[in-house]
């Protein structure tokens, strides 16, 4: 059983680990600059889209503050953006809109070169292959239709986080698997999505009154500021996604991020200690997976509801591919075991070794090095305190004298 002080020390380790996994301010600003350039090109007066005031906004982990670096420098950071249009030509179908966005991108020599094959809902720009700036990401551009006055609704919703109605934030998107993709011109009958409503729900779940607020109002701006401070739930999600990536490197059947993020947010109980939050989340995620019965097929299936769209099942692919379900539960048991074993270690060296297996040697060593640098500075000032069981932290039971060695190697 860990003492309160030891839990605080592990929380510090996990927070620092989350920071090492986070995309850097330089990477963040490069992505923002790139997607704003895309937005400017799509909205240029020569564009067929110009009358509908195209605007680019981030969605997904980039908006939620849960993005992490890939485990390999050869892999891309995934940047998801929405190209929202205020209305459309009344004759445009989803197929028309999708093609017009793609055609406009192809009119730019640089974007034409970057364009990947057309996706189900998005156009993908591959920056790594063709960038002159060593950009290590690709960008998924989702065409979407919004109603007039949407921007005002969005700003109001994110400035008043206690407002619970998120239905007004829904957008209409293109999806080439929809039956009406090629003929339906009324966007009210197009597929509905609500990435901004989901973001508001997630940050409401994550918000702790005693912790500095992560500003969703800031994050959803076309040119947001980099936010290095994260809420405990954001760190928990980053850590879980990293563990998933390490366990399933290259496996397309790995647990998807939206399932991990949603279950973590539902299981989170507003703890400020990241270790306490992480343990509770992994022990209770399964509680929020429903068991439902399909009477027409006579089978039970798992249901993980979208909190802002009760009809959407994030685990729908589990029915098509049972391996995905098996691998999720296998991952959940593994992360429980790995965290338990890490917290049973004593001494910074052993803790670091055990965490490295689950989260990556380079990132864990960097996290410990950063903590060590801070502790050395405090030691020089005569302010450092530490718990001998861990040998880590700037807080603890006993004051130590300045020295040139940090931590315990028990």
CATH number at residue 163: 3.30.460
Residue ranges of the chain with per-residue pLDDT less than 50: 385-386, 388-389, 391-410
Task: Identify whether 243 is part of a domain.
Answer: no
Which pLDDT belongs to residue 222? 65
For residues 43 and 150, state if they share a domain.
yes
Give the H or E element holding residue 264: helix 257-267
Q: Check whether residue 81 and residue 215 sit in a common domain.
A: yes
Q: What is the pLDDT of residue 228?
A: 84
**Given this model, what pLDDT does residue 232 score?**
95
Residue 38, Ramachandran bin (φ over 0: left; ψ between -120 and 50: alpha; else beta): alpha
The pLDDT assigned to 398 comes to 31
- Mark which of 229, 251, 281 sits at the end of a domain: 229
User: Does 301 reside within a domain?
Assistant: yes
Give per-residue pLDDT as tens, 338-384: 999 999 988 888 999 999 999 999 999 999 998 887 766 555 555 55
Both tokens of residue 103? Answer: 């055609």
Q: How far is CA 251 from CA 2, 244, 329, 383, in A?
A: 35, 10, 15, 47
pLDDT at 405: 25
Cβ atoms within 10 Å, residue 253: 14
Do 379 and 323 lie in one domain? The reply is yes
Query: For the segment 61-91, what is each residue's pLDDT rounded down to a tens digit?
Result: 999 999 999 998 888 889 999 999 999 999 9
Domain span at 370: 4-10+261-399
**219 and 307 fall within a common domain:** no
pLDDT for res 286: 97
Q: What tokens does 360 get?
A: 């990556």
Distance CA 357, CA 222 (A): 38
Statement to judge: residues 101 and 201 lie in one domain: yes
Q: Same domain for 80 and 184?
A: yes
Domain shared by 329 and 198, yes or no: no
Residue 304 lies in a domain: yes
pLDDT confidence of residue 237: 98
Residues 385, 391: Cα–Cα separation, whole Å: 9
Q: Do 224 and 320 fall within a single domain?
A: no
Does 365 fall in a domain? yes
Between strands 123-126 and 398-399, the pairing is unpaired
Residue 16 belongs to some domain of the structure: no
Nearest-angstrom CA–CA distance, 66 and 244 = 14
Q: Is the domain of 74 the same as that of 168?
A: yes
Q: Which two tokens stand for residue 57?
A: 């906004």
Residue 38 lies in a domain: yes
Regarding whether 97 and 42 lie in a shared domain, the answer is yes
Residues 53 and 166 in one domain: yes
Co-location of 219 and 310 in the same domain: no
Please give the tally of structural domains in the chain.
Answer: 2
Q: How far is 376 from 400, CA to CA, in rounded Å?
A: 11
Count of residues in the chain:
410
pTM here?
0.89
């Amino acid at each position: 059983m860990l003492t309160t002080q030891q839990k605080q020390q592990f929380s510090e380790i996990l927070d620092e680990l989350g920071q090492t996994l986070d995309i850097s301010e330089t990477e963040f600003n490069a992505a923002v600059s790139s997607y704003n350039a895309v937005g400017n090109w799509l909205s240029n007066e020569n564009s067929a889209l110009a009358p509908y005031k195209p605007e680019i906004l981030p969605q997904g982990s980039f908006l939620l503050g849960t993005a992490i670096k890939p485990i390999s420098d050869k892999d891309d950071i995934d940047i998801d953006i929405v190209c929202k249009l205020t209305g459309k030509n009344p004759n445009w179908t989803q197929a028309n809109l999708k093609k017009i966005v793609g055609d406009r991108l192809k009119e730019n020599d640089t974007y034409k070169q970057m364009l990947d094959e057309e996706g189900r809902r998005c156009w993908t720009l591959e920056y790594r292959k063709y960038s002159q700036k060593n950009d290590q990401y690709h960008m998924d551009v989702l065409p979407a239709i919004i109603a007039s006055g949407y921007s005002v609704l969005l700003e109001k919703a994110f400035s008043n986080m206690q407002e619970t109605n998120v239905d007004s934030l829904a957008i209409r998107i293109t999806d080439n698997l929809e039956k009406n993709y090629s003929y339906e011109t009324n966007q009210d009958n197009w597929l509905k999505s609500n990435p901004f409503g989901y973001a508001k729900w997630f940050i409401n779940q994550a918000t702790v009154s005693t912790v500095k607020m992560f500003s969703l109002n800031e994050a959803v701006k076309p040119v947001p500021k980099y936010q290095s401070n994260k809420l405990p739930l954001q760190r928990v999600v980053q850590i879980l996604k990293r563990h998933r990536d390490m366990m399933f490197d290259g496996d397309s059947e790995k647990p998807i991020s939206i399932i991990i993020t949603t279950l973590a947010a539902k299981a989170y109980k507003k703890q400020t200690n990241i270790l306490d939050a992480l343990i509770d989340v992994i022990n209770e995620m399964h509680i929020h997976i429903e068991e439902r019965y399909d009477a027409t097929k006579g089978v039970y299936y798992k249901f993980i509801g979208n909190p802002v769209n009760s009809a959407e099942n994030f685990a729908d692919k589990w029915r098509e591919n049972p391996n995905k379900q098996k691998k999720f539960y296998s991952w959940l048991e593994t992360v429980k075991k790995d965290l338990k074993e890490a917290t049973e270690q004593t001494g910074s060296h052993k803790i670091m070794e055990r965490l490295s297996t689950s989260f990556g040697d380079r990132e864990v060593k960097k996290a410990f090095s950063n903590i060590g640098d801070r502790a050395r500075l405090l030691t020089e000032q005569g302010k450092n305190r530490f718990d001998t069981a861990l040998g880590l932290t700037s807080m603890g039971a006993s004051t130590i004298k300045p020295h040139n060695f940090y931590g315990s190697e028990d």
